[in-house]
Amino acid sequence: MQEWMLILLCVISTRGGKLIGEKTAAKNDYKEMHKDLAEKAIDKHNIESNDFYLWELLSIDDTHQQMINGVKYTIQMTLAKTNCTKMVNILMKPNCKQSDVLKVGQLNINLSFCKLYIYIYIYIFSYKCTAEVVHRAWENYENVEMKNCEEPFKRSLNKRWTMEEDMATTHRKIFNQLKMGSHLKPRDYISWNRFTDFINNYEKLYDTKREILKKFRIFKRNLKAIRMWQGREQGTAVYGITQFTDMTPDEFKKIYLPYMWEEPIVPNKIADLKINGVNLNDQLPESFDWREHGAVTEVKNQGYLGNCGSCWAFSTTGNIEGQWFIAKKKLVSLSEQELVDCDSVDQGCNGGLPSQAYNGVASSRLHIANDSTQLMTSS
């Protein structure tokens, strides 16, 4: 009798061409539920990720369900980056805008040819992610996991170039001449495709064929190193392509690691705590975050200044911005580019020291970033 019941169940389960436990396309009747599950997965991703800005649901691309010990939903979705940081109040979240509505202008001056290039583009940062949700209604159990998130990519990129010299067109012509040509071997095709994605994602511009091929060789070596380190990883670290993957260790060290000075020209002073009203016997708070008090500007990217070792300038302006806020109750964003260009004591793109840069700022003045009509003086 039990054998007949088992055969009957198998016949019923396979009559529609579907097996028990088989993954099937989810019904459209439950779109709202799928959206709710996707939102929960994104909320969890926002909490656990290291991203500075919040991500939100752009679209649900595909949904499947599977009968296991409960129902397992697999949701493929596209996420869009917003302009809201993670510190935003949950009540303010509906006011966040996707970054694809923001127009960004970047000014780049090529001093070697004394020509001005203006880049104007609209960018859209997106994530392709897969969420898995196990739901057991009879136990009131639900487990949400975000899995297999790809690296951020750009869904579209529109550029308008002024001036007669169209640097982007020149770059594309050079680049297209290399595609699958005599310079590439069949074994390099996959790496080349990843290299082209890397160039588009990070808006890399190379001047010549030779430079493109040189950067491609460096990129391949770094890919090999990434695979090696990931294979040796015994913890939870994830290794992947970044904006620095076309650089050698020496290039990275020269640009992003500080210049080693023997002794600062301007000696550092020891702070007198008593004069400043600080009593070491007072009870200090367990934590204190100046960001919560409005004394810190948004995160800035040193990469916007090109291949330039300008970390010392960002350290200098960051401290001055905070001190200015404490003294004047007004937060301003200062121009690191101007400090790199105008500081006569430090080494510009080859490094510098904040202790020396402070004197340069105190004896002159510094523009507020992105607003050449406003000045900040030392008074």
What does the pLDDT read at residue 226?
Answer: 92
**What pLDDT is attached to residue 258?**
59
Count of CB atoms situated within 10 Å of the CB of 187: 7
| Position with higher pLDDT, 265 vs 194 | 194
pLDDT at res. 162: 41
The residues spanned by each domain of the chain are 20-86+99-152, 166-247, 290-363
Give the pLDDT band of residue 183 (cuts 50, 70, 90). low
Question: From 2.40.50.140, 3.40.50.300, 3.90.70.10, 3.60.20.10, which CATH number describes the 290-363 domain?
Answer: 3.90.70.10
pTM of the model: 0.41
What is the per-residue pLDDT for 164?
38
- At the second CATH level, the architecture of 20-86+99-152 is Roll (3.10)
Cα distance between residue 379 and residue 373, in whole Å: 18
Topology match between the domains 20-86+99-152 and 166-247: no
pLDDT band of 5, cuts 50, 70, 90 = very low
Higher pLDDT, 116 or 13: 13
pLDDT at 369: 65
Reported as a pLDDT band with limits 50, 70 and 90, residue 223 is very high
Give the CA radius of gyration of the chain: 27
What span, in angstroms and rounded, lies between the C-alpha atoms of 93 and 87? 10
- Looking at CATH, the fold of the domain delimited by 166-247 is given as Helix Hairpins (1.10.287)
Q: What does the alpha-carbon distance between residue 183 and residue 164 come to, in Å, rounded to a whole number?
A: 30
Greatest distance between any 2 Cα atoms in the chain: 97
Coil vs helix vs strand at 125: strand
Are 251 and 245 a contacting pair, CB within 8 Å?
no
Are the C-beta atoms of residues 142 and 134 closer than 8 Å to each other? yes
Helical ranges in 125-188 per DSSP H: 167-178
Contact between 170 and 162 under an 8 Å Cβ cutoff? The reply is no
